Amino acid sequence: MDKESADGLLFKDHDFSSDLLRQLNGLRQSRILTDVIICVGAWEVPCHRNVLASSSPYFRAMFCSNFRESGEAKVQLRGIDSTTLEQLVLYVYTGEVPITAENVLPLLEAASMLQYPKLFEACSSYLQSQLTPSNCLGMIRLSEILSCETLKKTAREVALTYFPEVAASADLKELCALELRDYLGDDGLCGEEEKVFEAFMGWVKHDLQTRKRYMQELFKLVRLPYIHPAFFHHFIANDALLQSSPSCQIILEMARRQMCSLYGTTSVPDLQPPWHVPPRNSYQDFLILLGGRKDNQQTTRDVLLYHRQTGQWRSLAKLPTRLYKAAAVALHRSVYVLGGMAVGTEKSEPSRHVYIFSLKLNQWRLGQPMLAARYSHRSTSHKNFIFSIGGIGEGQEVLGSMERYDSICNAWENMASMPVGVLHPAVAVKDQRLYLFGGEDIMQNPVRLIQVNGWSFSSCLSHFQKHVVQNGDENDQERVCPCSGAGGADCHRGRLHKEDSGL
The pLDDT value recorded for residue 68 is 85
The pLDDT value recorded for residue 45 is 92
Q: What is the mean pLDDT of residues 148-172?
A: 95
Lowest mean pLDDT among 81-90, 267-276, 332-341: 267-276
Q: What is the mean pLDDT of residues 365-371?
A: 95
Better-predicted residue by pLDDT, 431 or 191: 191
Q: What span, in angstroms and rounded, lies between the C-alpha atoms of 156 and 450?
A: 53
Question: Is the pLDDT at 255 greater than 90, yes or no?
Answer: no
Residue type at 156 in one-letter notation: R
End-to-end CA distance of the chain: 72
The pLDDT value recorded for residue 314 is 92
CB neighbour list of residue 253: distance below 8 Å, 6 or more residues apart: none
| φ/ψ bin of 292: left (φ > 0), alpha (ψ from -120 to 50), beta (otherwise) | left
Better-predicted residue by pLDDT, 130 or 271: 130
User: Which helix or strand (DSSP H or E) is residue 437 part of?
Assistant: strand 433-437
Q: What is the mean pLDDT of residues 362-369?
A: 95
Residue type at 488 in one-letter notation: G
Q: What angle do CA 333, 337, 338 make, to 5 degrees?
A: 130
Question: CB–CB of 72/47 below 8 Å?
Answer: no
User: In the chain, where does the domain assigned CATH 3.30.710.10 lie?
Assistant: 14-153
Question: Is the pLDDT at 431 greater than 60, yes or no?
Answer: yes
Better-predicted residue by pLDDT, 4 or 442: 442
Question: CB–CB of 225/236 below 8 Å?
Answer: no
Answer CATH for 14-153 from 3.30.1360.70, 3.30.710.10, 3.40.50.920, 3.40.50.1440: 3.30.710.10
The pLDDT value recorded for residue 443 is 77
The pLDDT value recorded for residue 100 is 95
Sign of CA dihedral 499, 343, 375, 410: negative
Question: Is the pLDDT at 356 greater than 80, yes or no?
Answer: yes
| Domain formed by 166-276, architecture | Alpha Horseshoe (1.25)
Q: What span, in angstroms and rounded, lies between the C-alpha atoms of 140 and 156?
A: 7
Question: Is the pLDDT at 476 greater than 50, yes or no?
Answer: no
Which tens digit of pLDDT belongs to each residue from 162-178? 999 999 999 999 999 99
DSSP letters for 337-386: EE--EE-SSSS--B---EEEEETTTTEEEE-PPPSS--BS-EEEEETTEE
Question: CB–CB of 87/97 below 8 Å?
Answer: yes
What is the model's pTM?
A: 0.73
CB neighbour list of residue 367: distance below 8 Å, 6 or more residues apart: 336, 354, 355, 356
Q: What angle do CA 181, 331, 355 make, to 5 degrees?
A: 135
**In the predicted model, what is the mean pLDDT of the chain?**
84
403 pairs with which residues across the strands?
388, 414
Question: Is the pLDDT at 496 greater than 90, yes or no?
Answer: no
Question: Is the pLDDT at 24 greater than 80, yes or no?
Answer: yes
| Phi/psi at 308 (5° precision) | -65, -35
User: Which helix or strand (DSSP H or E) is residue 119 part of?
Assistant: helix 117-129
Question: CB–CB of 451/415 below 8 Å?
Answer: no
Which tens digit of pLDDT belongs to each residue from 38-92? 999 889 999 999 999 999 999 999 999 888 888 888 999 999 999 999 999 999 9
Which tens digit of pLDDT belongs to each residue from 201-213? 999 999 999 999 9
Q: In angstroms, what is the C-alpha Rg of the chain?
A: 35
Report residue 425 CA to chain centroid gap: 35
Q: What is the mean pLDDT of residues 24-28?
A: 89
User: Which helix or strand (DSSP H or E) is residue 154 part of?
Assistant: helix 149-161
| Phi/psi at 268 (5° precision) | -100, 130
Question: Is the pLDDT at 246 greater than 70, yes or no?
Answer: yes
Q: What span, in angstroms and rounded, lies between the C-alpha atoms of 191 and 283?
A: 9
Q: What span, in angstroms and rounded, lies between the C-alpha atoms of 418 and 451?
A: 7
Question: Is the pLDDT at 503 greater than 70, yes or no?
Answer: no
Question: CB–CB of 306/287 below 8 Å?
Answer: yes
CB neighbour list of residue 266: distance below 8 Å, 6 or more residues apart: none
The pLDDT value recorded for residue 339 is 94
Give the rounded percent of residues in the chain with a pLDDT score beyond 90.
53
Which tens digit of pLDDT belongs to each residue from 396-414? 898 989 999 998 889 999 9
Q: What span, in angstroms and rounded, lies between the C-alpha atoms of 171 and 211?
A: 16
Q: Are strands 74-76 and 36-40 parallel, antiparallel or unpaired?
A: parallel
Which tens digit of pLDDT belongs to each residue from 211-245? 999 999 999 999 998 898 889 988 999 899 999 99
Q: What span, in angstroms and rounded, lies between the C-alpha atoms of 148 and 134?
A: 19
The pLDDT value recorded for residue 472 is 33
Q: What is the mean pLDDT of residues 371-392?
A: 91
The pLDDT value recorded for residue 409 is 86
Q: What is the mean pLDDT of residues 326-348?
A: 88
Give the rounded percent of residues in the chain with a pLDDT score beyond 70.
85
Shortest CA distance to 46 belongs to which of 63, 59, 29?
Answer: 29
User: In the chain, where does the domain assigned CATH 1.25.40.420 lie?
Assistant: 166-276
Question: Is the pLDDT at 286 greater than 90, yes or no?
Answer: no
Q: What span, in angstroms and rounded, lies between the C-alpha atoms of 192 and 172?
A: 17
CB neighbour list of residue 37: distance below 8 Å, 6 or more residues apart: 44, 45, 46, 47, 73, 74, 75
Residue type at 58 in one-letter notation: Y
The pLDDT value recorded for residue 294 is 75
Q: What span, in angstroms and rounded, lies between the C-alpha atoms of 447 and 431?
A: 24
